[in-house]
Structures are given as structure tokens and as C-alpha cells.
Chain A
């Protein structure tokens, strides 16, 4: 796991995009305090997922409102699935794991 930013860069219930080795990763801070990380670019038509609305389960892409499960990356509306990354927080830093 490596640190990619600070937890307080992300307001509760929102997402922000981070660049990691040239890859774009969207990190979300759920309202229960946990974090999720997915690929940042929507597989549908390239929408910015970090600008989407989330709840404890899903993220809605802001462009056409397709939905994905934040934990598994599975599409909930018939689109390709998202890549998800292990993510955690320690000492206020966001730690991103490698793809398993």
C-alpha cells in the first residue's frame, strides 16, 4: 500500500481523482467513514466518476447516471464493470493497494 493523498482532501460523501503512476483513480469517502477506490474514467463514455453521487453501495456517473457497486466494481445497469482498488486510511493518509 502506498499513500496517494490526505483523507481530508475528500469531503464526506464525495469523490476526488488521484493520479497514480499515470493511472487515474477515483477515491470516494463514504458517509460511514470508509473509503473506496475505482478507476476514474467511466467505461460507458468516459465520464468523470469522481464527480458522481454516491451512497454506501453505489456510484452514479454524472453523465448518464449509470450505476456501479463501489465495493465490487460490478455494473448495476448493464455496462462493463469497473476496476476497483484496495484502499485504506492510516494517519490521515489515503493508502492505495495494488490490484490483486
Chain B
């Protein structure tokens, strides 16, 4: 039997250790338990997610398929409650038990939340509006809440607190940072550096900073309304983020009888004290008295443990790590390593300050070696200093060179002078040699190398260096990462270029696009091209049916058993008794297996065989609801002012008018709309591709880029208008702008943030580019070209258009003689 390896904690250290074990060919039967409901993601990028510069999906390091591909059994959302060291079993919260031969504990740490009165609500966890900042769920909840509020207070002025404060500014206008110590980042910086940083944060970012501020109470009855400080001051706020430090998740280990001090005590092989088969890595481990709070040490720990466990080097030892810190706040450069002030009498300390520019630099040298460095406001020399610090390099005689670039082009590390094993990405532990190896292996794009090695995918500060190494290694043959920007995979062009080429050569069919631009036909690109050509050429488009996806060939949505669903149009979700009666009769006549209300306020007839579609349409004699295409779907409405006692606008009438006009319009992705009669939002307009909300005073708000599918996003307010007519015009203009500029399958929730709502507003509302009239004209043309596809039922468009493709019933033999 293979050795059973169980890992508790599926975070950065746990998953990395397993990766290192697999990389060494370790043959274990691996089971992992993670408290969080996800695969392993890059926790340090949560700051960037909060700041809106990174997408959630971009931070995953190991998605669920990685576990499956490597034969790892992963239990997400499963907390381990106890280890039985003698029976060698772990017990999960859900009552299951799992035996192990070797056990790794990688439970990380959690936010330390000081016992401030009012921070918790009995029985409810945190008070409403109070958040910690540790997990993806924390970050999501914080973003959701912050968007709807005005003032945030961040408690804690360390790295995490500063990054939280900066990130929150992305979602609400006022942020105050309260720090209990006398200066910011006091764990890493001395007083002068901390003071320089404070001045920059306040002047440059507009974050108010309170130092020496001890929070004594969180105020507010139902939700947070403010915080109270020990000097009696009250700072009003509706969001509180606690970033007051971390504590190792070691209670479970302690309760199971392991030696725990500030963390789980381990020896140089990461083995728990007096245990033969239990190890701990990451932030939960305490090694030689140190508990780390950064990722670099855990990369080293993971390597040692993997060497040891796989037997590649059973005597591998971890001797502790030198840690360097960088602040990930755009525009505020801070880096610190080692000592923050001289400790011995003969330590050399050099300092340069330029307060006006927010610059502070300090280096500390002992016996000719760098033992500490702080750079605020100018971090050009950091890469060099880090190397010197990490490896104890000899320092230049001219000490000022440690802080400035004197003469020479330097300022940056010289790539050709770097040793192969020199670490480039400290977050993910990638060396220059590893990067060069990948380039030599044929990958010559910066993004490609970053994907393969993960270099630059941590805090991101080494990206420029990674780029230079790739350029150097490729000898000037760096390639732009091609595919990322293509509209469809098969034609090597971004959308604007593709549109231009199609116009230039007058390409009106999908096959002619391949012939002229792509070389080879590509099944995965056909549908996207068909949609684009149809949008561009309207009636002149040469429709080749094979370019269509099956749904668009037969105007219905294919189901899991190869049958189809039929959804007739029901504008604005409003129907009539006559219509209902007809639908009922059709459903009975054709023995429709299921009749269901859709999420889009319509009625779905499911389980219709392909060959019966034309007959069903004929019996219904209603227009298609387009519930199958990458197209305009529905406009959900609420009852609005006609009936609802809250309604302030006639949402149903406007919804019907919108659907009437834009029905069937195709695009790069689905377009789902809603109109709601007041901000109570019963029709869910805030989470639609385009949502309209009636507000008091007869006005209408238009939101764009919302979503409530697998991805959930509240739309951005595009503008507020006075009349339904303006809503109709702007809807058309926005949809046309989206149709012309979005990538294939890029929904508005990705498109709008990519372009930026301000820019969208400039174009669509303010007509800053002067293209509004051409957008309107193009939309008019598409609207005019609308024809109900269900009308084309008498004559099949192609031979056998509706012939069955599945052995629902075995087909009759075709009577042909050889």
C-alpha cells in the first residue's frame, strides 16, 4: 500500500508542499483538507483584488482540476477538529475520520481581532459592518458591503492595514486608518521612516491616518456607526476592517497534544516536537522561536519538507529565513529588510532623507555585511539590496552606491551578471535559471513564462526584472503573447484589427474569413466569427449554416438528452390568458415532458425532439424568445406604478418597449435586461447586463455591467435620464458599443470594468468620441433586419435541418440500394 499522506490546510504552504513533493516524484496517496471552499489561491493577491487591479479568477494557483489531475483527494470546506496521534487518524467537523501514515499541518493563521467592546454581536459573529481581511470570502464580503457605504475605518497600520485602506478607497470615498503605535508599519520601520510614510499616505492617497489611536469601542446598534478612541474622540464610519495582526491556527494541534507556543513547534526538518510522523509548515509553524507572516519562508520550508519526506534528501534542514517586506500599494513604495535601527555600537548606519519628496533611505552594515535596509518613496535599489542582504555579499566601498546609482547605467540589476540560482521572484521562489530554462524550452513570451514559472505572480514587484530576463534569454526574440488578445482563437487578430481586415477585404462569410486571414478553418472560432460578421454586415452577411452552433441552426436550446427547449417571447414577462391557454394546449398536444417558469419571466417547454420543433412553433404561433443564442434575451420587469403601491415609474411599459425594439439582437455574449419600478429592485435590475431603475421624480437610472450568474456583480451607474425615450436610445447605443468592442463571450460584467465605466459613459452618454450617431445608426440597421426565426419553419434552411441526431428512437433505415 502506498504511504498515506494527509495534509490539514489547503492554503499556500500546504499546496506548495504537495507541489514540491510531486515535483520530486513522491509516491503518496494524498488527501488534503481545507477549511475554505476553494482550491488554493494566492492569498497575497487579495490586496490586489480589493484594490480592483486583479480579478478573482486570476489569483488561483491550484484549481480543482489540479487536484484531480494529480490524484489528490481534496475535501474543501472541511475543518479538521482533532488529531489522534496514537491511532494516527484525523477527525473532521462533519464526523468523518481519515487515517494517515504521514501528516502535515499547514493551517496558517487567522486575523487577530482585539477584544474591543462592540466588535462582536452575540450569536452573530462580527457586528454588521465589521470585517477581517484574511480570506477570499472576507474580501468578497468586504467589497460587497463597502460599495454600499461611505466611510471606512481600518484598525491597524501595518502592511495589511495599509493595503486594506488603499483597497477600500476603490469602493467608498472616506477611509481613516487607526494605528495604535506611534508610527506606521512599526514592526518594519523606524520612527522617521514611518513618519515619512504617513505623510505620503495622507497627501498622495488622501487616507486620514491616526497614530497612537487605541480603539475602545465599536459603536452602533444594528450596524456600525462609528468607533470610539481612548482619548474620547469618535470617528463616524459604517465599515470597520480589523487588520491588527495575525495569530497562528495552532489550537487544534495544541488540543491534540502537540507542543505549541506561539505556533506549532517544529525542528529543522519541520517535524513536530517528539513526533515521528507529524510535520507543520507555513504560518502555523514555529521554528527556532520564529513564527513567520510572509510567504518567502514557507517556500523554503516546503522544499526542505519535500526533500525530507520523499527521501530525495532525508537530512535536508531548514535554518530560518531572512525576510524582506514590500508594500503593495500603487504609488507608495516601501521596502524593508532586516534591522530597522542599529543595534551594536559599531554598526554603520547611513541615512538619506528628502521629506519634501517623501523619500527616506537607510542601510545598516555590520562587519561589512548588509543587516538592514529601509527604502521609502524610492525603491530602485531594492533588488540589489535584497541580494546583498540575503546572500551576505561584499558591499561596494563607496557606501553611497547602496542607496543611489552613482554614474554608470546601473540602478537595475544587470541580468547577465546575475547568477543562475539567484532568486528573482521572492514571492514564488523562482530563480533566474528557471526562467531562462523555460525560455530555452521555446516559450518566448513574458506572460507565457510567468504562467509556467509563476515568477511575477506574487506581489508583482519583480515583473520588470522578469521581463528583462526573458528579453535577455530570448536574445531579443521576445514574442508578444499572442492568443490572449485574439477575438477568437483561430484568427490571430484582436477584435479591432479583425474588424478592419474584414472590412478591407469585404469578407462576408465565415469561410472567406478563414481563407483570407486564418489559413485554416477552426471549429472553435466559427460561432464567434458568425456573430461578428452578422453584426457587421446585417443583411449582406452570407450565412453559412455550419458556422452556427446547433442552437442557432434550429433556434432552440439543446438539452442534455439532445432534445430542445422552446421558450416563446413574453415581452417584459407580461402574458395574457389567451397566450397561456395556447401554451397549455400545445404542451398537452405534444406531451411536453416539462413546463417550467424560467428565470427570465417566461415559460419554457422542455424536452421537444428536434424534428418536432417546426410543428410546435406553428402550433404556438408566437415569436421566438431567443432563449438559446448569444443574443438579447429578455427584459424582466416588475409590476411598477400601474399596480405596485411603491412604484414610481411604469416599468412594465418600458420593459416591453425595450424588448420590442431590441429583440433578437445578437452579440458577443448574452444580454439580459430588466426594468424595475422603484429602487426596491424587485426585477433585479442592479444585476443585469443593462438594468433600468425608476427613481422618484420621474427619472430613470441606467446600470450596466451587472451579473447574477456564476459571477455576481452589481452594475455600474451609467447615467440618470428623464424619459423612457432616452433610456431606449442609450440602451441601443450601449449595446451596440458592447457588440462592436467586446471579445467573443465576454459578458458586460467583464467588458464594462475592462473599458472602465467613466470611459463607457464618455462614449455612450457624452459622445466624447463623436461616434454616438454611428452607433445608433448601426443599431437601427440591426433592429430593422430583425425577423422572427420561428417563422422560417415551412421550408428547412438546409437538408435535414430538423432531422434527429440521436437514437431517441432508432431511425428508419434509409432505403437506398447499393
Partners in one complex: yes
> Using a CB–CB distance below 8 Å, which chain A residues touch chain B?
1-6, 8-20, 22, 24, 26, 31, 40-41, 45-56, 58-60, 62-63, 67, 93, 95
- Determine if B511 and A40 form an interchain contact, defined as CB atoms under 8 angstroms apart: no
Known contacts A55-B522, A56-B520; A17/B806 CB under 8 A: yes
B812 at the interface (CB under 8 A from A): yes
The 9 closest A-B pairs by CB, nearest first: A13-B546, A48-B805, A19-B811, A55-B521, A50-B805, A11-B798, A51-B550, A55-B523, A48-B806
Number of A-B contacts (CB under 8 A): 112
Looking across the interface, which residue of chain A has its beta carbon closest to that of B814?
A5
Q: Which residues of B contact A45 (CB under 8 A)?
A: 560
- Determine if A63 and B814 form an interchain contact, defined as CB atoms under 8 angstroms apart: no
Listed residue (A8, A13, A26, A47) with the most chain B CB atoms within 10 angstroms of its CB: A13
Interface magnitude class on chain B:
35 or more
8 A Cβ contacts from B774-818 to A: 798-800, 803-807, 810-814, 816-818
B524 at the interface (CB under 8 A from A): yes
- Determine if A63 and B558 form an interchain contact, defined as CB atoms under 8 angstroms apart: yes
Q: Which residues of B contact A95 (CB under 8 A)?
A: 818
Q: Which residues of A contact B561 (CB under 8 A)?
A: 46
Known contacts A10-B799, A17-B805, A67-B523; A51/B558 CB under 8 A: yes
B670 at the interface (CB under 8 A from A): no
Tell me the complex Cα distance, A1–B814, Å.
15
Tell me the complex Cα distance, A21–B550, Å.
27
Instruction: Write 27 A-B pairs (CB below 8 A) sorted by A numbering.
Output: A1-B818, A2-B818, A3-B816, A4-B816, A9-B799, A10-B799, A11-B546, A13-B545, A13-B547, A14-B798, A17-B806, A18-B811, A19-B810, A19-B811, A24-B806, A31-B521, A41-B807, A51-B550, A51-B553, A51-B562, A53-B546, A53-B549, A53-B550, A60-B523, A62-B549, A67-B523, A95-B818
Tell me the complex Cα distance, A59–B549, Å.
12
- Determine if B562 and A53 form an interchain contact, defined as CB atoms under 8 angstroms apart: no
Looking across the interface, which residue of chain B has its beta carbon closest to that of A45?
B560
Looking across the interface, which residue of chain B has its beta carbon closest to that of A4?
B814
Q: Which residues of A contact B521 (CB under 8 A)?
A: 31, 55-56
> Using a CB–CB distance below 8 Å, which chain B residues touch chain A?
511, 520-524, 526-527, 544-547, 549-550, 553, 558, 560-562, 798-800, 803-807, 810-814, 816-818
Q: Which residues of A contact B560 (CB under 8 A)?
A: 45, 63
Q: Which residues of A contact B527 (CB under 8 A)?
A: 53
Looking across the interface, which residue of chain B has its beta carbon closest to that of A60?
B523
Tell me the complex Cα distance, A26–B558, Å.
17
Q: A3-B817, A11-B545, A54-B523 are in contact. List 5 more A-B contacts (CB 8 A).
A: A19-B807, A46-B806, A53-B549, A55-B523, A93-B818
Looking across the interface, which residue of chain B has its beta carbon closest to that of A95?
B818
Tell me the complex Cα distance, A13–B543, Å.
12
From B520, B558, B811, B817, A62 is in contact (CB under 8 Å) with: B558
- Determine if B799 and A8 form an interchain contact, defined as CB atoms under 8 angstroms apart: yes
- Determine if B520 and A55 form an interchain contact, defined as CB atoms under 8 angstroms apart: yes
Tell me the complex Cα distance, A48–B511, Å.
24
Question: What's the minimum C-beta distance from A1 to chain B, rounded to whole angstroms?
Answer: 8
Question: What's the minimum C-beta distance from A26 to chain B, rounded to whole angstroms?
Answer: 7
Tell me the complex Cα distance, A8–B164, Å.
65
- Determine if A14 and B546 form an interchain contact, defined as CB atoms under 8 angstroms apart: yes
Q: Which residues of B contact A10 (CB under 8 A)?
A: 799-800
Known contacts A2-B818, A48-B562; A41/B546 CB under 8 A: no
- Determine if B545 and A14 form an interchain contact, defined as CB atoms under 8 angstroms apart: yes
Looking across the interface, which residue of chain B has its beta carbon closest to that of A26?
B805
- Determine if A54 and B799 form an interchain contact, defined as CB atoms under 8 angstroms apart: no
Q: Which residues of A contact B523 (CB under 8 A)?
A: 52-55, 58-60, 67
- Determine if B816 and A5 form an interchain contact, defined as CB atoms under 8 angstroms apart: yes
- Determine if A31 and B810 form an interchain contact, defined as CB atoms under 8 angstroms apart: no
Question: What's the minimum C-beta distance from B632 to chain A, rounded to whole angstroms?
Answer: 22
Tell me the complex Cα distance, A19–B813, Å.
6
Q: Which residues of A contact B812 (CB under 8 A)?
A: 19
Q: Which residues of A contact B550 (CB under 8 A)?
A: 51-53, 62
Question: What's the minimum C-beta distance from A78 to chain B, rounded to whole angstroms?
Answer: 9
Question: What's the minimum C-beta distance from A5 to chain B, rounded to whole angstroms?
Answer: 5
Tell me the complex Cα distance, A16–B812, Å.
14
Q: Which residues of B contact A18 (CB under 8 A)?
A: 811, 814
Known contacts A5-B814, A52-B550, A67-B523; A40/B805 CB under 8 A: yes
Looking across the interface, which residue of chain A has its beta carbon closest to that of B610?
A51
Q: Which residues of B contact A60 (CB under 8 A)?
A: 523-524
